[in-house]
Each structure stands twice: as structure tokens, then as C-alpha cells.
A and B are shown apart, each in its own frame.
Chain A
Amino acid sequence: MATYSIHVNGETKKVDVAADTPLLWVLRDTLGLVGTKYGCGIAQCGACTVHLNGTAVRSCALPISAIGTSKITTIEGLSKEGDHPVQQAWQEVDVPQCGYCQAGQIMSAAALLSKTPNPSEEQIATAMNGNICRCGTYHRIKEAVVLASTKMK
């Protein structure tokens, strides 16, 4: 066990965990931020996607010891009121089915749009490719990403 100071959603949090603990489990088990989901634990499904300095990463494959001073944003910290353009678009399009994958989808989409505000269909497909939705809401995900890109302007 070791103590780490991490920056999550604009706050500094001290956690006492083993060095190899994936960020996912620090968020969920230690900090109670359960919006970030466990789907596979091996960086294959995207359910655990968070931002590390604005880039989408798989928190299940990111050990706490590798984070240092990087800034982490989770679904809970994407916006104060749940009104980030991507969240607005997700709500308007009513994207979720079971909803379990959607926090990860939203985090991937938000990271894409912050760097590429006007993505092509191909860029959307590439950026969202690593996020699996077992319910198959892909058509609505794409629609919402396009809608969100109009809201980012």
C-alpha cells in the first residue's frame, strides 16, 4: 500500500492503495465514483473510459502509480449540471438503452469533440470504435455525436 494524491474532477484526493491498482477500482471502490463502469478489465470494451489530461483512456488498464499529476475527469466531473454538449445531445437523442456502457461512450465522444469539433463520419467511427454497446445503440450514438458537434460551436 502507498499513498497517492490524484487530481479528480478538479479536486485533490488522497488514496491509500497498492501501486498496481487500476484507476477504475480506485474511482469505484475507494472514491465512490461509480459512474465509471467495469465491463472487461482488459481495455477491450470502453465502459471504464475517463479523461487523463483531456485524452480518453481506459481506466481499467491504468495503474494508479502511473498517473502522477495528470488531471482525471470522470463522467461525474464532465460538467457540473450534466449539461456538457455531449450530455445534452445524449439526452435529446435519448441514446441509452440499458445505459451501462454510456458513461464510457460519452467520455470517448467528449474527448473526440474537444480535439476534433467537426468530425467526419469516419473520424466518429474510429474514435468510438473501442466502446462496445451490448444493447446496440450505435446508430443513436452516432446521431448524438453529430448533434453534440453542432452544440460545441
Chain B
Amino acid sequence: METLTKTSRRDFLKLGIAAGGGLVLSFNLSDSLAAIVKGNKSLAATVDFNSYLSISPDDVITIFSPNPELGQNIKTSFPMIVAEELDADWKKVKVVQAALDVKKYDRQLTGGSGAVPHSWERLRKAGATARQMLVDAAAKRWNVAASTLSTNNGFVIHTNGTKLSYGELATEAGSLPVPTDVKLKNPKDFKLIGTAVANVDNKEMITGKPLYGLDFYREGMLHAMIQRPASFGMKLKSVDATAVKSMPGIVDVVTFKNNVAIVGKSTWEIMKARKALKVAYEKDGNIESTSDHDRIFKELLDKPEATVRRKDGDVEAAFKNAATVIKREYQCPFLSHAPMEPMNFFAHVKADGVELVGPTQTPDRARNATATLLGIAPEKVTVELTRLGGGFGRRLQADYVVEAAELSKLINAPVKVTWSREDDMMGGSYRPAVRYRFEAALDSKGILIGYKLRGVGVNAGNSTREDNFLQVRWKIY
């Protein structure tokens, strides 16, 4: 067994890819090889039905949840969808957060409320495919037509009432060809979807288990915090780190781009030393200010040209005939997303590759940005996902990941970069600043007969997308 390499085993067992599903039948390599080494027979026989699930002979169903979990319960809802089509016993399902794997998973990101809609079909197919393979295995064993068999709660059931658990059938099922065309359930037959299922990390969260990026520690890992310019439009002029360097626990002070990183052995030591850092900045172009933003808003809103997203009826006529016209503007400034868990990431740049661990909504972007920065192939970068203590769009950006990787390379050590709350509020990437102008035309009875909405954003577009508004047609009188 030891001579079996990962590649040869994988290639040997890769049977096929179902359209759109990314379903690769293979053994769970890491688990099975590790288990073989430990001599654990049961685990060694665990079968990966596809990228989303594996079943062990003792009936443990492991479902991988690929997308980042930031509190919207995707780590519960994704596996629920797989388990639904699989007809699994939810109580026996173990959910595991998958690391970034662009070959196995599609759109492995969480943002824009798109994760479930985008993955719905492929998750259902993953469950249904494995279910079909288990049914086929039972049909073979009982020598009956698969169409006469049914499934329920982790069992394949014969018309005569005999049943076999999924675990009992897993090994056989895993050796069968992957069906390419499987039948999905009629939604009215859903048993799990539509019920209130508790968050799978619930117990871990309420008992304080290490789940988040900030909870990631590793022997020999260094800690770092980064001093960034205090406002946009500033750049580093000079750094005096003499006092910092001699403070307890401080390993190094590294300057790169506009950053000064204080690297040390513990969080408190670097927080303290940071106060002794003497750093001067100078203007680098325009320093942004709220009054500039207000001016830009005004100019943009008054500009005659605009991209018309939607126009129903004769709006101009409605406004001309109006008894009253009401015009109001509302604005939202640049705001920190302020997720409860401050930004952080672990990075270890080694000679043969880069290891990244932490909270990100877009692991693939983090990987590619890191690869580009370091001038290496993206395949050399692994991204392990922790739970996110909130994201709110802030963790769609990769700045805080790349920064950690850059620092790790400079100091040639594994490092976790932590942002203080002040860092988070004062810098990084903000929610877009937007301003909207609403105009309403009312008739003499005060009934709305016309409506206009115009939106502008600074450096960030805006969200006056037509699909953000009611899909009813305004009736123009």
C-alpha cells in the first residue's frame, strides 16, 4: 500500500465527470491513506462518492461544504441539500469545511447572496448521484431491478421490506460506474429542506472551540500587526523603529510598500511595541475628504447623462401633470464593514509553496492575488478556510491575505497578521459611498403617478440595479 502514490490512485479510480456536477469518483485519498497507515480498516474503506460526500462502512456520511461560512449558515444549508437528495439520516451526517479546490468545486466563494442559488443544482445532483449508486449496488446484490428499490433515512429498501444501510453498500457502490443522468426529487417530497435544522457548528460555537481565523495558532508561528497610513492619499516618509526593536518579544520590524510590520512572539507584545513606533507620512496625491465626496456626488447627480436601467411608461408626462413633486436625496458615506472578528490571516511562504489559513469570502481570489504577488503558479498556494467572524463584503477583498503572504516571505517565517479594531475602522476597504435622488410625482389626491430614482457612487458604482427594485410596473395615469 505504501508504494501507492496519490496520483496513481486518483487516476486509476477517476471514473468520470458528470455534466455540470464536477462529480469525480475517487477514494478519499488523504483519509484513506492516513487510515491505512494507522491500520484503521473501517476508515480506510471510506468511499468518496464525489467531491461533496463520502460514506464509511460504519454509516458515517461526511459531507464537504466548500463555500466559506460567515454566519449565513451555508455550512449547514449546503450539506442539507446534499443530504436531502441522498436521503441520508441527518443525525449521521458529519459536515467538514472543504479547503479551496478549484478542480473539485465551482464558485467557491460566499458573497452577493449567491452561494445557495448558484450551487443548488449541483449539490442536489451530488446527493442524487451517490443515492443512485447505492441503489444500484443494492440492486446488484439482491439481483433485482434498481427501479423497484426505494431509499429512506440512510437505507436502501427492498419491496419485501429488507433493507441495507448506506454504509453496508458504500464499498460496492463506490466501484460502480457514475450515473450521468440522475433523477432529482420533486420538491414536494423534501423531508429536510424546509425544516428548521440547527447550525452544525452550534455546539462548537457555544463552547468556545477554535473555529475562526484568529483562533489559528501553530508552533513556531510569529504574530504581526501592520501600521498603515492614517488616511487615503498618504505615503510613508520615514520610519524609526529603534525603540520598538529592543522591546520584549519583538522579533523584527519590516517596512514594505506603505506598511510597517511589527513582528513578535505574542499579540500583546506587538500591540505594546507598536505604540513606540515613530513613523512619518507625507501626501501622495489627494487626501480624500468627505467634502470632496459630497462635491462629486452633487456633480454626478446633476450631470445630464446617465445610464438608464429601467424606464416604464411616460414618466416625463407624469411629472408635467403632477400636482406635487417631491424630491429627496439620501446618502451613505464610506463605512467600515466592521466584522466582529477583526481582519487576520495566517501565511507561510516556503520554498516549495505557500500555505494560507484564515477567514476569506473569496479563497480563490486570495490564492491568485498571492500567486501574482509572489510570481508563482496558483497551484503552489493552498488556502484552508476557517469560519469567518462575519464578512459583510469586507472579506471579499484579498488585501489582508496578500499582505500576510508578503510579510511571511520577507521574514521567512510563518506569521499571523492581526488587525486591531482601530486598523479595521481606519483603513482597509470600506463599503461604497453612495447617494440617491428620489423624485415622486403626485396627483391632486396625493396618488403617486410618476417616480424617478437616480443613484451615484464614489469609486464604487452604486446599487441602482433594476433587479434591486420591485418587479411591479408603475401604473402611469
A residues apposed to B, CB below 8 Å:
1, 17-18, 20-22, 25, 28-30, 32-42, 45, 47, 74-76, 82, 87, 90-91, 94-103, 106, 132-135
Q: Which residue of B lies closest to A47 (CB)?
A: B340
Name B5-63 residues within 8 Å CB distance of A: none
Tell me whether B342 and A75 are in contact (CB under 8 A).
Answer: no
B237 within 8 Å of A (CB atoms):
no
Contact of B203 among A76, A82, A133 (CB under 8 A): A82
Q: Are B208 and A76 in contact (CB under 8 A)?
A: yes
> Is A29 touching B266 in the complex (CB atoms < 8 A)?
yes
> Interface on B for A, CB 8 Å cutoff?
70-73, 196, 198-199, 201-203, 205-212, 214-215, 217, 223, 248, 266-269, 271-272, 338-342, 387-392, 418, 420-421
Provide the residues of chain B in CB contact with A34, threshold 8 Å.
Answer: 208, 210, 214-215, 217
Asked if A39 meets B208 with Cβ closer than 8 Å, knowing A18-B268, A25-B268, A135-B390, the reply is: no
Q: A49 to nearest B CB, angstroms? A: 11
Chain B residues contacting A133 (CB-CB under 8 Å) are 340
The reply to whether B340 and A82 contact each other, CB–CB distance below 8 Å, is no
Q: Which applies to chain A's interface (DSSP): helix, strand, loop or mixed?
A: loop
Q: Is the CB of B387 within 8 A of A42?
A: no
Among A90, A100, A101, A102: residue with most chain B CB under 10 A: A100
A97 CB, min distance to chain B CBs, angstroms: 4
Instruction: Evaluate contact between B214 and A38: CB separation under 8 angstroms.
Output: yes
What are 30 A-B contacts with C-beta separation under 8 Å?
A: A1-B248, A18-B248, A28-B267, A29-B266, A32-B217, A34-B214, A34-B217, A35-B208, A35-B209, A36-B208, A38-B214, A38-B342, A47-B340, A75-B206, A82-B203, A91-B202, A94-B198, A96-B201, A96-B206, A98-B339, A98-B340, A98-B388, A98-B389, A98-B391, A99-B71, A99-B387, A100-B340, A100-B341, A102-B205, A134-B340
Partner of B266, one of A30, A45, A97: A30
**B208 — which chain A residues lie within 8 A by C-beta?**
33-36, 74-76, 103
Given contacts A98-B388, A100-B389, contact A132 B217 (CB under 8 A): no
A35-B207, A76-B207, A96-B206 known; A20-B266 Cβ under 8 A: no
Determine the distance from Cα of A106 to Cα of B418 in the docked complex, in whole angstroms.
25
Partner of B269, one of A18, A42, A91: A18
In Å, the complex CA distance between A57 and B290 comes to 38
A41 to B72: give the CA distance in the assembly, Å.
26
* Inter-chain contact B207/A87, CB cutoff 8 Å: yes
Q: Do A37 and B421 have beta carbons less than 8 Å apart?
A: no
Chain A: CB-nearest residue to B199: A94
Complex CA–CA separation, A133 to B354 (angstroms): 34
Shortest B198–chain A CB gap in Å is 5
Are A94 and B202 in contact (CB-based, < 8 A)? Answer: yes
